[in-house]
């Protein structure tokens, strides 16, 4: 599909989910401004609330109900669970849309990796962070077994020892 068509769908997804997210951005080839993206990638941090019972907060949080209702209203859910999944795959008008769910502490990692392209994410970013003693385990950056928050994309570039580069220049 053409970039303009992909951008319109991405903007529609972002607008539908934004009221239920702390953060949401278009990623992938649309963010890199490729002329003919083959799919649409999004990264978001859905709003959550603490569940309570008669004794008060339970220590368990749940996604905003509006988020998963909005996701289900966008198109056919092909993979993942809008209420709790880390990856939700949709078919919107025949276009594959993947929504990657991040947290405040892995937002920068998820946005950079999901912006890609895959070769850049692997050969530049991942190679850099491993060289500097970091590891990505289940979507979280760690060093010496301890979690390392990566709240902004530029934080990941610093961890990798790589100068930040605008998405459209990543190859």
Whole-number pLDDT of residue 52? 61
Please report, in tens digits, the pLDDT of each residue of the chain (171 residues total).
Answer: 999 999 999 999 999 999 999 999 999 999 999 999 999 999 999 998 765 666 766 666 788 899 999 999 999 999 999 888 899 999 999 999 999 999 999 999 999 999 999 999 999 999 999 999 999 999 999 999 999 999 999 999 999 999 999 999 998
Which own/partner pairs from 113-116 qualify as long-range (CB within 8 Å, at least 24 positions apart)?
A: 114/27, 114/28, 114/41, 114/43, 115/27, 115/28, 115/31, 115/32, 115/41, 115/153, 115/167, 115/170, 116/27, 116/28, 116/29, 116/32, 116/170
CATH code for the domain of 19: 3.30.460.10
Domain boundary among 52, 73, 101: 101
Name the β-bridge partners of 134.
143
My answer on whether 13 and 87 are in the same domain is yes
Host domain of residue 79: 3-101
Q: What predicted TM-score, i.e. pTM, was given to this entire model?
A: 0.90
Whole-number pLDDT of residue 85? 86
My answer on whether 133 and 65 are in the same domain is no
My answer on whether 38 and 10 are in the same domain is yes
């Amino acid at each position: 599909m053409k970039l303009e068509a992909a951008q319109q769908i991405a903007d529609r997804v972002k607008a539908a989910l934004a009221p239920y997210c702390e953060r949401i951005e278009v990623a992938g080839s649309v963010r890199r401004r490729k002329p003919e993206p083959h799919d649409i990638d999004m990264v978001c941090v859905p709003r959550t609330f603490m569940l309570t019972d008669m004794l008060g907060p339970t220590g368990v949080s749940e996604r905003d109900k509006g988020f998963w209702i909005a996701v289900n209203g966008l198109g056919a859910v092909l993979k993942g669970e809008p209420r709790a999944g880390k990856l939700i795959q949709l078919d919107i008008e025949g276009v594959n849309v993947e929504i990657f769910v991040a947290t405040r502490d892995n937002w920068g990692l998820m946005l950079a990796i999901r912006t890609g392209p895959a070769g850049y994410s692997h050969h530049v970013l991942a190679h850099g962070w491993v060289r500097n003693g970091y590891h990505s385990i289940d979507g979280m950056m760690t060093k010496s077994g301890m979690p390392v928050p990566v709240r902004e994309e530029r934080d990941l570039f610093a961890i990798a020892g790589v100068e930040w580069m605008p998405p459209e220049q990543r190859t």
